[in-house]
Amino acid sequence: MHRRRLLLAAAAAATATPAGAQQPIAVALGGAPPGQLPQGFSVARTGQGAPAAWSVVDDASVPEGRALAQTSSEQTDYRFPLAIYDGVVAKDVEVVVRFKAVAGRVDRAGGIAVRLSDADNYYVLRANALEDNVNFYHVVRGTRRQIHGANAKVASDRWHTLRLKAVGDQFTIGFNDQTLFSVSDRTFGNAGKIALWTKADSVTRFANLTIRPLA
């Protein structure tokens, strides 16, 4: 009985809400007419190539009937379109989003950026449907370097879930309700914005974005 109580206590501690955590913020990605940006978003781009092209599109495969998409098929390889949410600035945060990789010949990816200070400095978690992997990077002065990654099946034209939890120098990465890995990094220790991210000619849709500040 004593051992069972210890196991239950450990499980409760693992799932407990951190002190100071706020309620999740549900961001309405489809909350604007098709062709427009949702309220609270701005657009940027890391790297080279054509500007990012983000807008709301009709999508009957989500309950809301609309999603936010990066629609440009510009094939510059080192090109990272960002849809930056200006409503939250946080250091410790948990971000969850659904994404669907629709098209792309050079790349077919979707991701989450956190602790973003500008378009050239941030962490990013991305899943790639051409490579079937989920990788975590930092982007420092416009240069992207991988911190850690894992193989995972990322089917095209199908909704997947990405989860990124950042607490101090610890980052926990989830994909489709499974924790893939945790990793430590100290590149960025300040609060920043949250963004949606794609690469090169990725035509990718996003829905059901939730942001939970943890401090």
Domain that holds residue 131: 26-213
Residue 122 falls inside a structural domain: yes
Residue 186 falls inside a structural domain: yes
pTM of the model: 0.89
Measured between alpha carbons, how far is residue 92 from residues 62, 135, 146, 191, 197 in Å? 29, 20, 21, 8, 19
Residue 209 falls inside a structural domain: yes
CATH for 43: 2.60.120.560
List per-residue pLDDT tens for the chain, 215 residues long. Answer: 433 333 333 333 333 444 556 899 999 999 999 999 999 999 999 999 999 999 999 999 999 999 999 999 999 999 999 999 999 999 999 999 999 999 999 999 999 999 999 999 999 999 999 999 999 999 999 999 999 999 999 999 999 999 999 999 999 999 998 999 999 999 999 999 999 999 999 999 999 999 999 97
- Total domains in the fold of the chain: 1
Residue 161 falls inside a structural domain: yes
* 174 closest CA partner among 183, 184, 165: 165
Residue 19 falls inside a structural domain: no
Residue 6 falls inside a structural domain: no
